[in-house]
Amino acid sequence: MRHLARLAAPELLDLGELDVRALPHDCTVLFFTEYSIIESAIGQSSANFPGLQGLPKDTPDLVILVTAPHPVLIALEAKMYDRPSRPDLLKQLAAQTTQLEAVADALARLLDVPAVEIAHAALLPSKLADSVGPLPVRVITWEQILETYSDVNQAYFLAILRTALDRYDHLVSKWAGYQQGDLAGANLVMRSLAGDETWPWMGIQGGLKGQRLAHAVSDGSWGTRVFQCRHDPLPNNPNWFPVTDFIGKLRDAGEDVQSLGPTPADEG
């Protein structure tokens, strides 16, 4: 636990100072992995945590309670080679948020404090973070963890994490269907305008002239909506179209897509 407080850094959880003490007679931290309080608060102990019955059992991978200088409940949902879709990840995080809020309320009563701060975050490889787009919780990456702890004398941990990230493209779960990746609409547009040809093709049911895309453009959700994308075209498949055609559709709808592109100074 010596370096646990580094998680509170501004570029990670941004929690301010944490006073982590892990001696048995002077302890300010509880550390749990794959622990479900909903399934554990049974019998007489359930009275300490009312309101948990019936809540989703989707527990974060890592839950840490730090009580000093003020109580903070840290919850991390970690992914490495599993590649969930954005809707699946949003559903999972929402279920966890409901559970964490109930637990924080119970802890506030038990600790006799006005409130327990919740620091809920998704811990993802940077490539997965890019593909799922903005989330309702803070996103930190494994690459950030590697950088934050690079000076810690834990050669095994650092070597394994570095190896895992180096092998990410070979070991990550494969996309189903035709897609080779997925990115938020604003990210696809920004990359295309910058001359990045990594993902020149995108797909959605109904294609460029379909109702789903029309709705996403009309209600403004196209920027955060995640689209399937490919490196190369799919001949004779009307659901797929060039990102440049999508940009043209946005311009026709009056969207200021140029603001997502490079400035003249950037281009120079």
DSSP 3-state of 191: helix
Is residue 84 packed enough to be buried (19+ CB in 10 Å), middle (13-18) or exposed (0-12)?
Answer: middle
- Which pLDDT tens digit goes with each residue over 53-93? 777 777 899 999 999 999 999 999 999 998 887 778 888 99
- Which pLDDT tens digit goes with each residue over 135-165? 999 999 999 999 999 999 889 999 999 999 9
- Each domain of the chain, given as residue ranges in start order, spans 4-170, 181-267
At 264, the pLDDT band (50, 70, 90 cuts) reads very low
| 8 or 52: which leads in pLDDT | 8
- Which pLDDT tens digit goes with each residue over 225-255? 889 888 888 888 899 999 999 999 999 999 8
The confidence score (pLDDT) of residue 173 equals 84
Give the separation between CA 189 and CA 185, rounded to whole angstroms. Answer: 6
The confidence score (pLDDT) of residue 261 equals 63
Beta strands per DSSP E along 94-219: 117-124, 138-141, 181-184, 201-203
The confidence score (pLDDT) of residue 49 equals 78
